[in-house]
Amino acid sequence: MSRKLLTSLAAGLALAFAVTVPAQEAASPDADAARAASMARDAEDAASRDQFRQLDQDVQSLKKEVLDLNRDLFLLEEELLFPANSQVAFFISMDVGEYFKLDSVSLKINGKEVANYLYTDREAGSLLRGGVHRVHMANLKTGDHELVAIFTGQGPHTRDYRRGATLNFSKGIGAKYVELEITDRVKKQQPEFVIKEWE
Amino acid sequence: MKIRNLLAGFVFSVFAASSLASSGLTGQPAPDFALKSSTGANLRLSEYRGDVVMINFWATWCGPCRQEMPLLDELYSRYQRVGFNLLGVNIDDDSNRAMAMINELGVSFPVLFDASKEVSRLYQVDAMPVTVIVDREGNVRHVHQGYKPGYEQKYLDQVRALLRE
Amino acid sequence: MVTRRAIIVCCCLILASLAPGSPALAGKDDPAPIVVKEAHYGEILFYFFQEDYFPAIVRVLAAQDQGRLEEHAAEAELLKGGLYLSYGHHLEAADIFERLLADNVNPEVRDRTWFFLAKIWRQRGYLDKAQQALDNIGDGLPKDIRREATMLQAQLLIDGGKYDAAIALLQDWKGKTEWSRYAQFNLGVALVRSGRVGEAKKILEELGDIDPWNDELTSLRDKANLALGYALLQSGQPHAAKEPLQRVRLEGPFSNKALLGVGWADAELDRYQRALVPWMELRGRDLLDPAVQESMLAIPYALASLDSISQAADHYLNAVEAFYEESSRIDRTINHIESGRFFDQFISDDPLDSTGWYWRMQSLPEGPEARYLFHLLATHEFQEGLKNYRDLSYLWKNLDRWQQSVDVYANMLETRRLAYEERLPRVRETLSRADLDGMVQRKLEFDALLNDIEQSGDWLALANEREFEMWGEITGLEKTPALSANIPEAEEVRDKIRLLKGVLQWGLEKDFGDRLWRIRRDLRETGEALVETQRARRQVDESMRNQPLEFHAFDDRVYGLEPRIETMKMRVGDAMAEQRAFLQAIAVGELQAQQRRLDTYTVQARFALAAIYDRAATVTEAAVK
């Protein structure tokens, strides 16, 4: 996580600097008008530059704060999720607008079934309220792997519902998290997996 | 040499397994599981923590099971409201047959389907029926192999003792 | 003929009849097993069966006073009655029995008790009370007891001088049993005494002829024959008198009298030579026996009648000497008795030291005095007096022991009071520190809180410290303003936070049920412990309130006892002295009576001698002339 942020920070900074440079090179053919225009343009530019600088500073401090946050989160994470370096943790979460009763989730990694969890009413309720279930921890070698995840449940009209998703992911040296979120954000009344990965 | 060792190992494991079947579980935490029930809901053993749970493994082709189940149903209806739960685990390949028998006998306790026999393997069930009694803490306290008339008295006494804990 | 065993059996039967579930009373005199429900009652029975009546009574009274015999109240009362009887408190016993023996008691038991009472009354001389008791008997008595009752009835009639009724009763009496024999004898004697010798003869003759199957009946036969013989002698039928007298056993207790009588029969018939035979036999026997004493005079009388004057004189002289020696011996005995040592010897010789109406001396004490009192002891008066003396001696020792105990108790009490006063402030302090009521209140509040938590499914409420901390951290982080920015980094972090929070939540929700029941269980146990503690506290409070009062009460009781014991002891001592004086008086009286008899005989002998000398002198004079 930290590496990615650093690279984007660097990119952002470069962009910031890049913006200010070209403004000084522009010259106009009509001297007075041009000058006036250029002076006006200069003024405008200066204003927008100031604004931008302000904004940028804000963003910077924000990012710093988020950085700090990350550090705190990292510590928490170790305590709550504590995966070993070689492991990949798979999580199930839910975010549905319409009623959906989750029945079961099954996971296959590289063709082999590694999890088949039946959710009780209580557990399904917990997911609806924001709980997140760590459904499986896999010891995987570094490299590429394939995940096939299927969930079943019942929609609002007690229709049996079944959906799946496939994820090709690569395992690095450190721990990895995969969150399989069952959500109907994208298509109303049609929940499906939205997969997020972290490292 | 190798074969003999293999054989010895096999024999040992057979005997070990059968002797473990009854004694191995007692005193240990009951292995957790979740199975679909006859009502369609999924039921998980650990959600019954705090209650006394009796797990009864049965099959439609088992004669003594037929005798035993109505008696278990009585036990269930009597003590359910004071913290007793009964989970019937059916291991038939075809759950319809099980449903038919349930309706025929008129049992009211939840019946779970373990067609893949995963849970019965977990509980080392190798004969029918097997009745496991789990206490409020989630530990296995008694295991009964088979059924003979009179066992129900033992169940009664054991369940009542555990309910008092 | 009331035996010790009979009274025990009677009481046992009374008890057995009242014990629930006891077997039906058999006709036999076997005590039925007794079902005891209380330890106190069992203790009383223990003493009773040992024939230790005094301690048994004391325990009954104590137990009743403390209300400890609820289960066995009626039986205890009955037992008390029996104990009083055994102890000799017959008036009290009768009261109790009359109160208790109402209609709801087994009729056989009731009748037996009345019969028993009747016997006691009679032996103590309360004849009309005895008759009343007999009249109360229904038909509950078994056969053998009924026979005895009939005999008792006959006896009462005889005692009351109603001979005709007695005769009628005896004639109606079917079956010749031992009891009827006794009744017969008594009747015969009574008839003789009242001069109806002819009727007496018939009765006694029949008795005199029976074939006895035990010692008692043999004795009775002897008595009957003796009585008949003497009756006939007295009514001037010496010839007829001989036969029954000769039937009396030579080696028995009545042989002396019989021998004497036989001699007199012959003497009446002027067959002096014949008369000498039994009298000579008698002469060699124990001089203590009045029959023997009489024989010493009868022989010279016969000799004189046979004109063996010098021999007669010799015999008279011997008799006078013998009588004189005997009288001296009696004097010595009287002295010994009057010194008081004799009776104490009596008492101290008794190894059992038990109390009870049916105590009888198993063996005579050593010493020459014993022979004199052998006859005396057979008398009722003496027996009763002696028994009372023994009882008083026991009481005295008992009081003495108590006096010593009172000292010990006073000591115990003081020690205990000191200990209590030392511990009290500490206990008070501990109690005041523990705010039990506050605890109970908190427990109830906690119960309510738990219910709320369960109702609302508030899984966060049951989180442990660390979990709660983490939750706080995460929710705190959630609110960071930076996070709401619309930049990918922020979104990523937001997602991450949601993940973490969700995982924590899942765990908390999953554990909620388990935690809930555990806390409830612990709370329940706490509740139980609180109840227990409250109870203990209440007990301590009460004890604290009562203890000073108890000490005070004990003080009064213990210290109040001392003078009572002392007073009682003095009274018992006085009573003992009185009793001893009474016994002494009786004994001395008896001995003096014997002396008087000897004196009388001596006088007779002297007279006879004098007459002989006179005659001899006259004869000599005449011869000389």
* Per-residue confidence (pLDDT) for residue C15, from 0 to 100: 42
**Cβ of residue C517 closer than 8 Å to a chain B Cβ:** yes
List chain A residues with CB under 8 Å of B41: 120-121
Do the Cβ atoms of B47 and A120 come within 8 Å? yes
pLDDT for residue C519 is more than 80: yes
In a mutational test of the A interface, the residue from C499, C511, C514 whose CB has the highest number of chain A CBs within 10 Å is: C499
Q: Quick one: which of C77, C75, C143 has its CA closest to C115? A: C143
Amino acid at B13: S
**Separation between Cα atoms, residue A134 and residue C44, nearest integer Å:** 78
A27/chain C closest Cα distance in angstroms: 36
* Per-residue confidence (pLDDT) for residue C49, from 0 to 100: 61
**Cβ of residue A131 closer than 8 Å to a chain C Cβ:** yes
Of A154 and A148, which is predicted with more confidence?
A: A148
Query: b/e string for A117-149 if b means 16 or more Cβ within 10 A?
Result: bbbbeebbebbeeebbbbbbebebeeeebebeb
Q: What is the pLDDT of residues B3-56, one digit of tens each?
A: 444 433 333 333 333 333 455 789 999 999 999 999 999 999 999 999 999 999
**Cβ of residue C482 closer than 8 Å to a chain A Cβ:** yes
Q: SS3 string of chain B?
A: CHHHHHHHHHHHHHHHHHHHHHHCCCCCECCCCEEEECCCCEEEHHHHCCCEEEEEEECCCCHHHHHHHHHHHHHHHHHHHHCEEEEEEECCCCHHHHHHHHHHHCCCCCEEECCCCHHHHHCCCCCCCEEEEECCCCEEEEEEECCCCCHHHHHHHHHHHHHCC
Average pLDDT over residues C503-525: 90
* Per-residue confidence (pLDDT) for residue B89, from 0 to 100: 96
pLDDT for residue C582 is more than 90: no
Average pLDDT over residues C281-302: 87
Q: What is the pLDDT of residues C156-182, one digit of tens each?
A: 888 888 888 888 887 777 666 777 777
* Per-residue confidence (pLDDT) for residue C290, from 0 to 100: 84
Cβ-based neighbour number of residue C295 at 10 Å: 27
Q: What is the pLDDT of residues C588-602, one digit of tens each?
A: 887 888 889 889 999
Average pLDDT over residues A42-52: 60
pLDDT for residue C583 is more than 90: no
Residue in B35, B36, B41 closest to A121 by CB:
B41
Contact at 8 Å (CB) between A121 and A152? no
* Per-residue confidence (pLDDT) for residue A36, from 0 to 100: 62
Q: How confident is the model at residue A59 (pLDDT cuts 50, 70, 90)?
A: low
Contact at 8 Å (CB) between C340 and C580? yes
Strand order in the sheet with A133-139: A133-139, A87-95, A176-183, A192-198
Of C110 and B69, which is predicted with more confidence?
A: B69
Strand partners, A138: A88
Amino acid at A91: F
* Per-residue confidence (pLDDT) for residue C478, from 0 to 100: 87
Mean pLDDT of chain C: 76
**Separation between Cα atoms, residue C579 and residue C573, nearest integer Å:** 10
Contact at 8 Å (CB) between B42 and B122? no
DSSP per residue, C434-467 = S-HHHHHHHHHHHHHHHHHHHHHT-GGGG--HHH
Residue in C510, C516, C517 closest to B136 by CB:
C517
Residue A103: in which H helix or E strand, if any?
strand A101-109
A73/chain C closest Cα distance in angstroms: 8
Q: How confident is the model at residue C227 (pLDDT cuts 50, 70, 90)?
A: confident
List chain C residues with CB under 8 Å of A129: 505, 509
User: Cis omega (within 30 of 0) on the bond before B129?
Assistant: yes
A93/chain B closest Cα distance in angstroms: 18
Do the Cβ atoms of A104 and B35 come within 8 Å? no
List chain A residues with CB under 8 Å of B47: 120, 122
Of B14 and C543, which is predicted with more confidence?
A: C543
Q: What is the pLDDT of residues C465-480, one digit of tens each?
A: 888 988 998 998 888 8
Among A73-87, C467-481, C485-499, where is mean pLDDT lowest? A73-87
pLDDT for residue C5 is more than 80: no
Residue A192 structure tokens: 């499906």
List, as own/partner pairs, every contact residues C217-223 make where C-beta atoms lie below 8 angstroms and the sequence separation is at least 24, other chains included.
C217/C178, C217/C181, C218/C249, C218/C252, C219/C252, C219/C253, C219/C254, C220/C181, C220/C182, C220/C185, C221/C247, C222/C247, C222/C248, C222/C249, C222/C252, C222/C253, C222/C254, C222/C258, C223/C185, C223/C254
Residue C357: in which H helix or E strand, if any?
none
DSSP symbol at A104: E
pLDDT for residue A150 is more than 90: yes
**Cβ of residue B18 closer than 8 Å to a chain C Cβ:** no
Q: How confident is the model at residue A79 (pLDDT cuts 50, 70, 90)?
A: low
Among A170-179, C25-34, C397-406, C460-469, where is mean pLDDT lowest? C25-34
Contact at 8 Å (CB) between A85 and A79? no
Q: If DSSP codes are grouped into helix, strand and coil, which group holds residue A176?
A: strand
Q: What is the pLDDT of residues C39-50, one digit of tens each?
A: 666 667 666 666
In a mutational test of the A interface, the residue from C506, C514, C516 whose CB has the highest number of chain A CBs within 10 Å is: C506
pLDDT for residue A132 is more than 70: yes
Residue C141 structure tokens: 């008595």
pLDDT for residue A120 is more than 70: yes
List chain B residues with CB under 8 Å of A118: 34-36, 42, 44
Q: For the whole model, what pTM was predicted?
A: 0.46
Do the Cβ atoms of B42 and A122 come within 8 Å? no
Do the Cβ atoms of C517 and B47 come within 8 Å? no
* Per-residue confidence (pLDDT) for residue C26, from 0 to 100: 33
Percent of the residues in chain B that have a pLDDT greater than 70, as a whole number: 86
Token match 């972090």: residue? C493
pLDDT for residue C563 is more than 60: yes
- For residue C58, with 0-12 CB atoms within 10 Å meaning exposed, 13-18 middle and 19 or more buried, which class applies? middle
Compute the half-sphere exposure of residue C305: CA atoms within 13 Å on the CB side of its CA: 16
Residue in A103, A104, A120 closest to B44 by CB:
A120
Do the Cβ atoms of B46 and C514 come within 8 Å? yes
**Cβ of residue A158 closer than 8 Å to a chain B Cβ:** no
φ/ψ (deg, to 5) at C62: -65, -45
pLDDT for residue C444 is more than 60: yes
**Cβ of residue C513 closer than 8 Å to a chain B Cβ:** yes
Angle between the C215-234 and C178-193 helix axes, to the nearest 10 degrees?
20
Strand partners, A143: A171
Token match 């054991």: residue? B158
**Separation between Cα atoms, residue B100 and residue B96, nearest integer Å:** 6
Q: What is the pLDDT of residues B118-134, one digit of tens each?
A: 999 999 998 889 999 99
List chain B residues with CB under 8 Å of A121: 41-42
Among C3-12, C123-132, C312-321, where is mean pLDDT lowest? C3-12
A171/chain C closest Cα distance in angstroms: 19
In a mutational test of the A interface, the residue from B44, B47, B85, B113 whose CB has the highest number of chain A CBs within 10 Å is: B44
